[in-house]
Amino acid sequence: MTNYKHSQRGILLPYVLSFAALISIAMLLLMPAESAMLGVSVLLLVLLICLYLFRSLTVEITSDRLTVWFGSGLIRKSIPLEDIIDARIVRNPWFYGWGIRFIPHGWMFNVSGFDAVELELKNKRKFRVGSDEANELVTALRRRI
């Protein structure tokens, strides 16, 4: 049974990746050297894969777990609710960036913006989840933990 589920679409990241992919396509069309075409083709493929994988971030709370996944769900993290001690709203500094990041005290999943929910875990580590609904996420988590 799902108690909370929300998907946040990436705003800046998909535009940056799309712009870089368009530049790569232009380079492929304009490059005379075949040796450079392989490198640009690989770069284009990586950009398109990243665009597919990191287009959104979904957070779901069920009766016993918090699960967070990017895009199609290939990249995901699941935490038993019993392992979460506390949840609080935080603001990420700009240099934490977006995507999957190792930050002080733990990991962060973020697709857009600077608002996040920081989970304090029993193992003394922290895990941050970027969210454009930080208040709702904290409320849902505190009801379950």
Q: Say how far apart CA 53 and CA 75 lie, in whole Å.
A: 8
Each domain of the chain, given as residue ranges in start order, spans: 2-7+58-144, 9-53
* Overall fold of domain 2-7+58-144: PH-domain like (2.30.29)
Specify the 3-state DSSP secondary structure of 9.
strand
- Determine the length of the chain: 145
pLDDT category of residue 140 using cuts at 50, 70 and 90: very high
Instruction: Supply the pTM of this predicted model.
Output: 0.83
Query: What tens digit of pLDDT does each residue of 42-71 get?
Result: 888 888 888 888 899 999 999 999 999 999
